[in-house]
């Protein structure tokens, strides 16, 4: 009698223990009536974009700190110091726009296709809820960097919430968390943005997909059942290939876009500073709508019309009783679609093209009259420096960007360098150059210009500090903040020339 039990062929180690092959088949071998098509990639693209938002969002959360004190600083840190931080944040920021564009395409396509009709009404309604959640994500994410744009846009957004009849005030208090926009607003919006809404989207999307699989893809209306049956093919590999290629193209386009257009970050929020609040482009139609309702009828623009629009969209499959899917046989639905989308598009375009911004906030705090410029100030030394020197020495004078290739380039911000070079030596270097890399400027620049540049270079040695009124006496060097270098290490000779440079700078302001 054999002691080794006979194992049936069960598909190998992993299949017998996990059933992954059966899982894969049930996920990927869904039969598609009418075959794979490029036109059906948009749902998959939305899923892909959502995953990208989740990934970039998690990455941003690693460095983001939601509080009034830290939000702006942490976002600025992500942009300026974290490797790829600017790119990751741009992906997240523009990813939101991309998602909204894809949503619009997906919704319009579903509408034209008649894909919301029996038995797919609930799939459509879940889709509208997903749209609503996505807009909520966009709105709640906008405040998180806590820059001026975020602060004022959210203040207006909460003002809009407060106009909702009966419950508006409570709703605002609930969202705002405190008496005014502040820490509690940030933590609440962060919770909504990073947990509540993404989880809602994930759950809704699962049910949306389940219903989609249950009823199958909506076949083209112009083909007979026999034609559809003949063209039937599984999701894998045809549609999977098309979805993946489309996702890759989208990803590449987004990456290129984000490389050239990083996400904006305005100055840190300041309630006392006037700022012209503007929403993102996808809310510009609503923004424009608000302008049309005169005193006393604001609630129509802030609440009534947008709610009616969403209710109509949500319940549309129940309202449209026409069984035909061919757009030619659905005049009412098609004219409503044309009317609605023309309205939205033209409101948006009109809002953006007619949007007048003030050139600068019209504050009327008196300004000191301009100081008459002296001979050196008229030289525009800063311009001279950026035209002649900044290419190698950098705008900040540290030469940091080219140091790898030019190890001998000096760091003007270094106090030891400033201490070891007299004014005459610097003038001489500019005039005669320093072979092999530093060119001579004696032919190109006048004596005054070289003298001005020398003073300008001296100014790099002054540690960064907040601007101060020229009337006050300059503080002792020892008391200055020494962010870059330790001033205590600098010899006395530098202090005097540093003082000179500082007083020169202050007098030019």
Binding positions for other proteins, rule: CB under 8 A: 67-68, 152, 155-156, 158-160, 162-163, 168-170, 173-174, 176-180, 182-184, 270-278, 287, 290-291, 293-296, 298-299, 301-302, 357-358, 361-366
Nearer to other proteins, 163 or 227 (CB): 163
Q: Are 28 and 240 in contact (CB under 8 A)?
A: yes
| Residue closer to other proteins, measured from CB, 210 or 297 | 297
Would you tell me how many other CB atoms lie within 10 Å of the CB of residue 197?
A: 21
Please tell me the number of Cα atoms within 13 Å of 458 on its side-chain side: 26
Shortest Cβ distance from residue 297 to other proteins (Å)? 8
Measured CA to CA, the distance from residue 339 to residue 58 in angstroms comes to: 39
How many CA atoms are closer than 13 Å to the CA of 457, on its beta-carbon side? 29
Structure tokens at 187: 């933590």
CB-count exposure of residue 36 (10 Å: 0-12, 13-18, 19+): buried
CA angle 239, 256, 349 (to 5 degrees): 90
Instruction: Name the residue nearer to other proteins (CB basis): 181 or 333.
Output: 181
For residues 93 and 145, what is the distance between their CA atoms, to the nearest angstrom? 11
Give the DSSP letter of residue 312.
H
Instruction: Map 398-451 to HEC letters.
Output: CCCCCCCCCCCCCCCCCHHHHHHCCHHHHHHHHHHCECCCECCCCCCCCHHHHH
CB of 286: closest distance to other proteins in angstroms?
11
Whole-number minimum distance, CB 183 to other proteins, in Å? Answer: 4
Please tell me whether residue 93 adopts helix, strand or coil conformation: helix
What is the C-alpha to C-alpha distance for residues 446 and 292, in angstroms, rounded to an integer?
A: 61
Q: Least distance (Å) from other proteins to the CB of residue 278?
A: 8
Instruction: Report the residue number, 47 or 290, with the smaller CB distance to other proteins.
Output: 290
Instruction: Give the Cβ contact number of residue 393 at 10 Å.
Output: 23
Beta carbon of residue 358, minimum distance to other proteins (angstroms, whole number): 6
Instruction: Please say which residue, 108 or 162, places its beta carbon nearer to other proteins.
Output: 162
Q: How far is the CB of 277 from other proteins (least distance, A)?
A: 5
Q: Residues 493, 409, 459, 454: is their CA dihedral positive or negative? A: positive
Nearer to other proteins, 203 or 464 (CB): 203
Nearest distance, CB of residue 472 and other proteins, angstroms: 18
Task: Indicate the SS3 state at residue 241.
Answer: helix
Residue number, 352 or 406, with CB nearest to other proteins? 352
Which is nearer to other proteins, 156 or 240 (by Cβ)? 156
Return the number of the residue (141 or 279) whose C-beta is nearest other proteins: 279
Q: How far is the CB of 132 from other proteins (least distance, A)?
A: 19
Spatial CB neighbours of 1, under 8 Å, sequence gap ≥ 6: none
Q: Is 268 helix (H, G, I), strand (E, B) or coil?
A: strand
CB 96, CB 137: distance < 8 Å? yes
Task: Name the residue nearer to other proteins (CB basis): 50 or 190.
Answer: 190
C-alpha 463/C-alpha 415 separation (Å) is 9
Residue 138: CB minimum distance to other proteins, A = 18
Least separation in angstroms between CB 355 and other proteins: 10
């Amino acid at each position: 009698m054999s002691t080794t039990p006979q194992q049936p062929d069960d598909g190998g180690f992993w299949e017998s223990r996990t059933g992954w092959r059966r899982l894969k088949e049930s996920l990927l071998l869904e039969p598609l009536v009418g075959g794979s098509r490029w036109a059906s990639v948009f749902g998959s693209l939305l899923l892909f974009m959502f995953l990208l938002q989740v990934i970039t969002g998690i990455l941003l959360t690693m460095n983001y700190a939601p509080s009034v004190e830290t939000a702006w600083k942490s976002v600025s840190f992500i942009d300026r110091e974290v490797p790829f931080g600017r790119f990751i944040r741009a992906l997240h920021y523009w990813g939101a726009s991309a998602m909204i564009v894809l949503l619009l395409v997906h919704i319009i396509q579903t509408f034209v296709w008649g894909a919301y009709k029996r038995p797919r009404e609930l799939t459509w309604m879940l889709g509208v809820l997903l749209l609503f959640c996505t807009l909520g994500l966009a709105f709640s994410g906008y405040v998180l960097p806590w820059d001026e744009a975020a602060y004022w846009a959210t203040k207006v957004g909460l003002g809009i919430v407060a106009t909702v009849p009966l419950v508006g005030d409570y709703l605002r208090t609930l969202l705002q968390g405190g008496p005014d926009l502040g820490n509690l607003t940030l933590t609440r919006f962060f919770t909504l943005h990073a947990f509540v809404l993404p989880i809602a989207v994930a759950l809704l999307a699962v049910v949306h997909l389940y219903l989609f699989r249950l009823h199958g893809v909506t076949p083209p209306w112009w083909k007979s059942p026999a034609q559809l049956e003949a063209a039937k093919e599984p999701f894998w590999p045809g549609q999977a290939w098309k979805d993946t290629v489309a996702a890759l193209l989208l990803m590449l386009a987004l990456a290129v876009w984000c490389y050239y257009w990083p996400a904006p970050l305005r100055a840190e929020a300041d309630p006392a500073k006037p700022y012209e609040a503007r929403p993102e482009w996808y809310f510009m139609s609503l923004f424009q709508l608000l302008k049309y309702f005169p005193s006393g009828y604001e609630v129509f623009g802030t609440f009534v019309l947008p709610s009616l629009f969403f209710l109509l969209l949500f319940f549309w499959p129940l309202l449209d009783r026409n069984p035909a899917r061919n757009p030619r046989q659905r005049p009412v639905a098609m004219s409503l679609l044309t009317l609605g989308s023309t309205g939205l598009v033209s409101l948006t375009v009109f809002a953006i093209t007619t949007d007048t911004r003030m050139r600068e906030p019209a504050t009327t705090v008196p300004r000191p009259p301009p100081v008459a410029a002296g001979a050196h100030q008229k030289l525009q030394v800063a311009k001279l420096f950026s035209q002649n020197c900044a290419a190698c020495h950098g705008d900040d004078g540290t030469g940091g960007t080219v140091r790898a290739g030019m190890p001998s380039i000096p760091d003007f911000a270094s106090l030891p360098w400033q201490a070891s070079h007299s004014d005459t030596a610097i003038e001489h270097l500019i005039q005669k150059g320093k072979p092999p890399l530093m060119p001579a400027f004696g032919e190109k620049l006048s004596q005054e210009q070289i003298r001005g540049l020398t003073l300008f270079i001296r100014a790099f040695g002054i540690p960064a500090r907040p601007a101060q009124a020229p009337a006050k006496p300059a503080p002792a060097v020892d008391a200055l903040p020494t962010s870059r270098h330790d001033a205590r290490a600098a010899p006395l000779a530098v202090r005097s020339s540093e003082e000179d440079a500082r007083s020169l700078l202050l007098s030019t302001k």
